[in-house]
Structure 1
Amino acid sequence: MFGLQAEFWVAVAFVILMAVFGWFGIHRTILKALDHRSDRIKQELDDARRLRDEAAALLADYKARHASAEREAADIITSAKEEAERIAAEAKTKMEDFVARRTKTAESKIALAEAQAVADVRAAAADAAVTAATTILSQSVKGSVADDLIFKGIGEVSSKLN
Structure 2
Amino acid sequence: MANPHPAADTATTTATVEHQAPAEGHHADPSVFGLDATVWVSIAMTAFILILLWKKVPGLVTRGLDNQIAAIRTRLEDAKQLRAEAEALRDEYARKIAGAEAEAAALLAHADEEAKGVLAKAQADAKELTVRRAKMAEDKIGAAERAALQAIRAKAADAAAKAAAAIIAEKHGADADKALVDKTISGLGRLN
TM-score by length of 1: 0.49
The structure carrying a bigger helix percent of its residues is 1
Higher relative contact order (Cα pairs below 8 Å, separated by 6+ residues): 1
Larger Rg: 1 or 2?
A: 2
